[in-house]
Structure 1
Amino acid sequence: MTDASMHDAVERFLRYLGVERQLSPITLRNYRRQLDAIIQIASDTGISGWQQCDVAVVRNFAVRSRRKGLGPASLALRLSALRSFFDWMVWQGELNANPAKAVSAPKAPRHLPKNIDVDDVNRLLDIDLNDPLAVRDRAMLEIMYGAGLRLSELVNLDIKNLDLTTGEVWVIGKGSKERRLPIGRSAVTWIEHWLDLRGLFGGDDDALFLSKHGKRISARNVQKRFAEWGIKQGLNSHVHPHKLRHSFATHMLESSGDLRGVQELLGHANLATTQIYTHLDFQHLASVYDAAHPRAKRGK
């Protein structure tokens, strides 16, 4: 018996996705690629029909896919395609149950956010202030690093959200939750400089930061300007807004050790989201230990 019947079932499934679900050709190609790869593995292991697939067989598909070099994210995609296909076969009455539902891909390694060290942050902020846009950019960098803002929070800031006397800013974060944050003396100073020049651009009466055309500055414009300043200031790593937020969180945690406080400042609903910065802090401590302790370099 050949795997022709397996391919036939896949073709019928893809027709269903294209006609009934109206999925895009790219999505259909992705489904086909994943299911064809599974059929090849099935053929290599003596499986000639989808009805032979149980949980153990599906788990074997996953194991063999990993051995062929498939990473966790790609394996999750392959198993997702198989689960969708088997759900359709159950709906068609060709399978009694979906054996892929009991098999999950290994978790992808969690990549720690990259941050900018304090010296590089200082170099980034040492901007030549020959023009009003440079003053604006300095103010944006100062408040973003000074308060750990999200990019969306930065571009949506209105002048009325500031209290420069007390050094505070109000932002609306995820879930429409308002946060009241300290921004520090340096950020206050440069926002004041920018407000003295902001009238040169006219435009939006509410927005704190304007583009050169007098409109509220866009997220894309901020990303572009930050990247350009990173290059101009000679930083080795790409500078983007989220990296400044990560740097704020890392430096605050290194100095204070107050995880709950950093959680509040960042506006994280879940403490687990903030806890990733404890791993960054441990990496910093571990590097200090390795460099300084006479017994750190074991085996040498």
Structure 2
Amino acid sequence: MDASTRKQPITDLVNRQSHSALLLGMVPFPVRQAGEPAARRFVEFFTANIRNPNTRQAYARAVSHFFAWCEARSIALHEVEPMLVAAYIEQHPGSAPSKKQGLAAIRMLFDWLVVGQVLPMNPASSVRGPKHVTKRGKTSVLEADQARQLLDSFDTRSIAGLRDRALIGVMVYSFARVSAVVGMNVGDYFQNGKRWWFRFHEKGGKVHEVPAHTKAQEYLDAYLTAAKIGDQTHTPLFRAITRHRTIGSTRPHRTDVLQMIKRRVKAAGLPASTCCHTFRATGITVFLQNGGTVEKAQQIAGHESPRTTKLYDRTNEAITIGEVDRIII
């Protein structure tokens, strides 16, 4: 960084990172009040330290709420103490997971400020968040016949129908996250021996490869043939549909995919609670119902822990009338 860059105001530095600027908005007043080094270090925490855009957005929102709370009480950056952080977490209106995420964001930011010699200690390091143990996920799950009903409902005479069926098919049959599917290039659908495979770029820069299910392969081949992009290996696999109902050149955002799913499930007469994660949970549940093991489901889904995979397992959720009738009094 040259001398002229070092003299630029903090807003100019943020504006050079346009996406980050949208997420950050402006540096909170308690941080600006602490001086240029603190403000610069604050911006660097998001633009240089956090690479995942979803994490960056969530953490930016969490620390913004915290510093707004501090500003309302005239608490300067150097005046933040463990009991103040604890008081903020205590009055936080969100759920236990939201409080835990907020505390994690605050703790990581202050760690970054300490390492940058802005503060002598991290006031959040000793603060404990609320206990929260989840043994069952809340994501809605479709029955196998409902998933089949949805996949059969697409109008395959249109490029939009072929794209949407292929996109949902990849999520169902490979347990993939929507962000990983949307982030695929054409070359991430590749042949290895006699089988076709999917390559997903997951959180944290991890690359995860999964054999393509025959149905997912069928849907994707039909889409690629109609879109005529099979040889464009370094371009987006799933693309936005233009207003002229033709295939575009840019990736759809995951929120666009969610809106598409909401429209599709409504038209198919399926539960309105269906979302992007529904297909990940549905695939895992059906896999386990048909004799698959949690260990193999974990491998396909790319989970670090089998406990995470079990959150998507709904095979034992139903309590039958027969079980209730065992209560003989």
The alignment's TM-score, normalised by the length of structure 1, stands at 0.64
Q: How does 1:163-178 map to 2 (within 5 A)?
A: 163=191, 166=194, 168-174=196-202, 175-178=205-208
1:105 aligns with 2:139: no
Of 190, 195, 211, the match for 2:219: 190
Number of the residue aligned with 1:134? 161
Say if 2:172 and 2:282, in contact at 8 Å, map to a contact too. Answer: yes
Distance in 2 between the 1:79 and 1:165 partners? 44
1:218 aligns with 2:244: no
Number of the residue aligned with 2:48? none
Say if 1:18 and 1:28, in contact at 8 Å, map to a contact too. Answer: no
Cα deviation digits, residues 217-237 of structure 1 (max 9, x gap): 423443332232122112223
Q: How does 1:72-111 map to 2 (within 5 A)?
A: 72=96, 73-74=98-99, 77=102, 101-108=125-132, 110=134
Distance in 1 between the 2:94 and 2:180 partners? 38
Q: How does 1:9-20 map to 2 (within 5 A)?
A: 16-17=33-34, 20=37
The runs of 5 or more residues in structure 1 that have no matched partner are: 1-11, 40-49
- Counterpart AA for 1:161: Y
Q: How does 1:235-274 map to 2 (within 5 A)?
A: 235-274=270-309
Higher helix proportion, which one?
A: 1
- Of the structure 1 ranges 259-268 and 236-245, higher mean CA displacement relative to structure 2 is found in 236-245
Q: CA deviation at 1:132?
A: 2.8
Cα deviation digits, residues 199-254 of structure 1 (max 9, x gap): 3xx69723544443441542344333223212211222344333212221222123
Say if 1:14 and 1:28, in contact at 8 Å, map to a contact too. Answer: no
Number of the residue aligned with 1:228? 263
Distance in 2 between the 1:214 and 1:246 partners? 30
Question: Size of the alignment, in residue pairs?
Answer: 259
Distance in 2 between the 1:131 and 1:253 partners? 34
Q: CA deviation at 1:31?
A: 2.7
Q: CA deviation at 1:76?
A: 7.3
Q: CA deviation at 1:189?
A: 2.8
Number of the residue aligned with 2:69? 33
Distance in 2 between the 1:92 and 1:217 partners? 40
- Counterpart AA for 2:150: L
The RMSD of aligned alpha carbons is: 4.6
Say if 1:14 and 1:32, in contact at 8 Å, map to a contact too. Answer: no
Distance in 2 between the 1:113 and 1:230 partners? 18
Q: CA deviation at 1:264?
A: 1.1
Q: CA deviation at 1:142?
A: 1.9
Residue 103 to residue 216, structure 1, CA distance change in 2 (3 Å): closer
1:21 aligns with 2:38: yes
Q: CA deviation at 1:80?
A: 8.0
Distance in 2 between the 1:270 and 1:294 partners? 33
1:116 aligns with 2:150: no
- Counterpart AA for 1:112: G
- Counterpart AA for 2:207: K
- Counterpart AA for 1:116: L
Residue 249 to residue 33, structure 1, CA distance change in 2 (3 Å): same
The runs of 5 or more residues in structure 2 that have no matched partner are: 1-28, 44-60
SS in 2 for 1:21: helix
Cα deviation digits, residues 38-74 of structure 1 (max 9, x gap): x9xxxxxxxxxx9xx9x9xx49x669946x9775344
The alignment's TM-score, normalised by the length of structure 2, stands at 0.59
Q: CA deviation at 1:169?
A: 1.6
Distance in 1 between the 2:198 and 2:292 partners? 24
Number of the residue aligned with 2:316? 285
SS in 2 for 1:256: coil
- Counterpart AA for 2:213: I
Number of the residue aligned with 2:186? 158
- Counterpart AA for 1:287: A
Say if 1:230 and 1:239, in contact at 8 Å, map to a contact too. Answer: yes
